[in-house]
Amino acid sequence: MQESQFAQLYKQASVNTASPGVLVLMLYDGALQGLHKADYGFSLENPVRRNEEIHNGLMRSHHILRELQQALDLEQGDEFGDRMYALYGFWLDKIFEANVKKEKGNLEEVKQMLQDLRDTWEEMLRNSPDMKI
């Protein structure tokens, strides 16, 4: 078995055994990785590779954030769900715009906000007796 297959099996086992809170943290990490991949793409000079890296990175982030947005339970009528839905929507719009135009635009702002949310989520998991990482 190749090393990449072991890594894939480990990743799959991690996802299958993670708590819902940890899964959200993993999704935030995946969305951030996509944004970092797009950042790398913006630095490339070869137009084909540049566009491909930007597109793939941004689409990864877009898909993850869209799934997080759709997973929100808006039926409870609480303010948290509505605010998170709007925040994810804002990020999705900025990511879509950057992908269409192949310009960074507000991606740095999105990346910083997402990083802040991710770090806050991790801190909440660490401090909650019911939600350990």
Domains and CATH numbers, the chain: 19-127 (1.20.120.340)
Q: 3-class SS at 32? A: helix
Specify the amino acid at residue 49. R
Report the C-alpha gap between 86 and 83 in whole angstroms: 5
The set of residues, in sequence order, having a beta carbon less than 8 Å from that of 93 and lying 6+ positions away, is none
Among all chains, which residue has been given the structure tokens 């982030």? 61
3-class DSSP state for residue 78?
A: coil
**Digit-coded pLDDT (tens) for 23-76:** 999 999 999 999 999 999 999 999 999 999 999 999 999 999 999 999 998 888
Q: Which two tokens stand for residue 19?
A: 């708590």
For 82-132, write each residue's pLDDT tens digit: 999 999 999 999 999 999 999 999 999 999 999 999 999 999 999 987 666
